[in-house]
Amino acid sequence: MSRRDTARSDVSLLDLDERPWAAYGSCRGADPDLFFPGEALDPDEGLKICSGCPVRDECLWWALENRIHFGIWGGTTERERRRLMRRSA
């Protein structure tokens, strides 16, 4: 199992007690592969779902606070979040 697969599995096991805002996310019920596209898949479909999400800011904040390195969170790619993390360090 790759680090990306492990991260995807670990994050998907988080319950709503830790992320209550996730119950209102546009991604709720969507295929998780859209948000963990890896090298071979295009992230655009996952990003499109995020674009109108009512909890996009909360999701991004949570991903940054928890230093989530893999996947699409809060409408950002892994590269975009790494850039944001470097700026805030």
Owning domain of residue 32: 3-88
- Give the residue ranges of DSSP H helices in the chain: 3-12, 44-51, 56-65, 78-88
pTM > 0.85: no
The domain total for the chain is 1
| CA dist., res. 33 & res. 47, Å (int) | 12
Q: Is the dihedral of CA 78, 27, 8, 61 positive or negative?
A: positive
| CA dist., res. 60 & res. 50, Å (int) | 10
Residue with the bigger pLDDT between 44 and 4: it is 44
Instruction: Tell me what pLDDT residue 34 has.
Output: 92
Instruction: Tell me what pLDDT residue 23 has.
Output: 92
10 pLDDT more than 50: no
